[in-house]
Amino acid sequence: MNRVREERKKKGLSQFQLAKISDINQGDISQIENEKIFPYPGWRKRLANALKVDERYLFPEIEEEDKTNRVREERKSRKGS
């Protein structure tokens, strides 16, 4: 199950309530929960704050994205040396 949905349900919130708290459209929350879209960083932060959980817990994909970016940066710095 999608972690946004899982945490929302644990907290007893509807999509409408989460939308109000996070200031993200309910339709977008639905698409995030159904993995139709991946939220941009601002939305990830607002969802994590609204659900009172760590952003990296809600979106473990961020960790992989960070690793990929670090590898790219290391390669660039080696080429420039």
Fold of 3-80: 434 Repressor (Amino-terminal Domain) (1.10.260)
Structure tokens at 50: 């609204």
- In the prediction, which pLDDT does 15 show? 98
User: pLDDT tens, position by position, for the chain (81 residues)?
Assistant: 699 999 999 999 999 999 999 999 999 999 999 999 999 999 999 999 999 999 999 998 887 665 665 666 777 777 765
Distance between first and last Cα of the chain: 45
- In the prediction, which pLDDT does 43 show? 97
> Is residue 4 within 8 Å of 58, Cβ to Cβ?
yes
- In the prediction, which pLDDT does 66 show? 57
